[in-house]
Amino acid sequence: MIAFFQKNGLVVAGGTIQGLGMGLFLFPHAIPSGGAGGIAVLLNYFFHLDMGFALWIVNFSMLVVATKYLGNKSALWTMLAITITSITVAFCEQYYLTVNRNEWFDLLIGSIFLGTGIGILLREGVSNGGVGVIALILARRRNSLPGPALFWINSSIFIMTGFLINIELIVQALISQWISTKIVDIVYYYRFHQAYTLDWRRK
């Protein structure tokens, strides 16, 4: 029971932190936060959908993949994570206005928040939604860090988004993705390193 509430708290925290990175810092400048964020930006641009709702649609569609390859349990945790993230993004859009903010500063802070949130989720075996599902599947199969796969998958979506909306977004999105995936690997690795150290000390 304690483990359940601990994981629940970490999933909520991870979803909230990545939602703040998106809603407060990245989305106000139309900077895609990832593959799902890039598709959400496209949906917002072409269909004028609310960013939080568009993000939820994209992430929900990936639950089918999560259910098949990660199991029903992981899919339920993923559903909680993306719902918390979408609510956080919608809240930020509705109640927080960005005026005269430096987009490069926001890109840096938003990417750190984003990477921290995603890292917390992935180390709990929970996808952050979107292509994070694919990155988590690849990381488990290859027994590797999820950052590199996340970077290359998202980069291809960023390029498409940039060409369709604004070419400058490609550079900003790639920089954001590089920073956030580095943070993801740091947070994701820390747990295994800590676990190894504790196990070694017990011996």
- pLDDT score recorded for residue 62: 74
| Confidence check: pLDDT of 95 > 90 | no
Give mean pLDDT, residues 44-49. Answer: 85
Collapse the DSSP code of 87 into the 3-class scheme (helix H, G, I; strand E, B; otherwise coil) and give the result.
Answer: helix
- Token pair for residue 107? 């890109």
| Confidence check: pLDDT of 49 > 80 | yes
More confident position, 150 or 21: 21
Residue 34 phi, psi (nearest 5): 170, -170
Collapse the DSSP code of 30 into the 3-class scheme (helix H, G, I; strand E, B; otherwise coil) and give the result.
Answer: coil
Give mean pLDDT, residues 102-118. Answer: 93
The residues spanned by each domain of the chain are 2-202
| Confidence check: pLDDT of 198 > 70 | no
pLDDT band (50, 70, 90) for residue 83? confident
The secondary structure of residue 27, as a DSSP letter, is G
Q: Which of 17-21, 25-29, 57-61, 94-98 has the highest mean pLDDT?
A: 17-21
Phi/psi class of residue 137: alpha, beta or left (left: φ > 0; alpha: ψ in -120 to 50)? Answer: alpha
Of the candidates 57, 49, 45, 55, the residue with the CA atom closest to the CA atom of residue 21: 55
| Confidence check: pLDDT of 161 > 80 | no
Cα–Cα distance for residue pair 139/132, rounded to 1 Å? 10
Q: pTM to 2 decimals?
A: 0.75
- pLDDT score recorded for residue 101: 83
- Token pair for residue 10? 């970490």
Residue 78: C-alpha distances to residues 40, 82, 118, 174 (Å): 18, 6, 11, 25
